[in-house]
């Protein structure tokens, strides 16, 4: 007797194979999306900070950049450009996504930024476009070396997204902003 078509077992085997392929593809696509999200955020932060000297020229006064983490110490936060060193007169702000974390486990997260209050980081740009910090004795003083902020994807920090790498944001003593991807040794 000839059978036409296919059996239920054959159909289930094909469906199981298609489901497995869909799962593998979905995981890979999700990883690509998460890495792209990190790169996009790095470029947004760079573009945001590159506009600070233009804002200084426009307002004819030193401006301050504040990073305020979401929930005090967690991932994400707000990057603000303010008119005053206390951070109350906000001119512009950029929301950092909650999937973006600062530093990997043992990395330095912030270097050469001031930390005027718990979890808040500050750096300034004066009217000569120098990168400055507040000095209790001298008002403001130019930083002596690059200010660095290190950020990565939250899932890279927990080890769920590989390979692990960070984006390092550099602000030079004369205001110039750059970002570089650096691979983790872990």
Which pLDDT tens digit goes with each residue over 55-103?
999 999 999 999 988 765 567 889 999 999 999 999 999 999 999 987 6
Q: What is the pLDDT of residues 128-167, one digit of tens each?
A: 999 999 877 778 899 999 999 988 888 988 888 988 888 9
Q: How far out from the chain centre does Cα 131 lie?
A: 20
pLDDT at position 139 is 83
CATH of the domain at 75: 3.55.40.10
pLDDT at position 127 is 96
pLDDT at 169 over 80: yes
User: Count of domains in the chain?
Assistant: 1
* Domain extent at residue 149: 8-183
Residue 95: inside a domain: yes
| Residue that is written with structure tokens 């804002």 in the block | 55
pLDDT at position 1 is 60
Question: 138 by DSSP, 3-state: which?
Answer: coil
pLDDT at position 108 is 59
Residue 43: inside a domain: yes
Residue 1: inside a domain: no
Q: What is the pLDDT of residues 98-127, one digit of tens each?
A: 999 876 555 557 888 888 777 788 999 999
Q: What is the pLDDT of residues 2-56, one digit of tens each?
A: 777 789 999 999 999 999 999 999 999 999 999 999 999 999 999 999 999 999 9
Read off the pTM. 0.85
Residue 2: inside a domain: no
CA distances from 29 to 24, 37, 76, 154, 164 (A): 9, 12, 23, 17, 17
Inter-helix orientation angle 8-50/52-59, to 10°: 40
pLDDT at position 5 is 77
Question: 125 by DSSP, 3-state: which?
Answer: strand
For residue 60, report the phi and psi dihedrals to the nearest 5 degrees: 55, 45
Residue 119: inside a domain: yes
């Amino acid at each position: 007797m000839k059978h036409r078509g296919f059996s239920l077992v054959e159909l289930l085997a094909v469906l199981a194979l298609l489901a497995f392929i869909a799962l593998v593809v979905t995981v890979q696509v999700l990883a690509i999306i998460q890495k792209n999200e990190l790169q996009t955020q790095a470029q947004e932060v760079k573009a945001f900070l590159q506009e600070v000297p233009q804002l200084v020229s426009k307002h004819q006064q030193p401006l301050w950049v504040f990073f305020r983490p979401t929930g005090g110490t967690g991932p994400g936060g707000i990057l603000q450009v303010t008119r005053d060193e206390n951070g109350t007169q906000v001119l512009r702000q950029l929301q950092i996504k909650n999937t973006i974390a600062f530093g990997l486990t043992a990395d330095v997260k912030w270097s050469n930024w001031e930390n005027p209050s718990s979890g808040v980081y500050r750096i300034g740009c004066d009217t000569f476009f120098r990168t400055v910090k507040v000095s209790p004795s001298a008002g403001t003083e130019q930083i002596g070396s690059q200010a660095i902020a290190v950020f990565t994807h939250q899932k890279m920090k927990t080890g769920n997204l590989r390979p692990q790498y960070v984006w390092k944001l550099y602000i030079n003593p004369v205001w110039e902003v750059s970002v570089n991807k650096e691979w983790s040794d872990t």
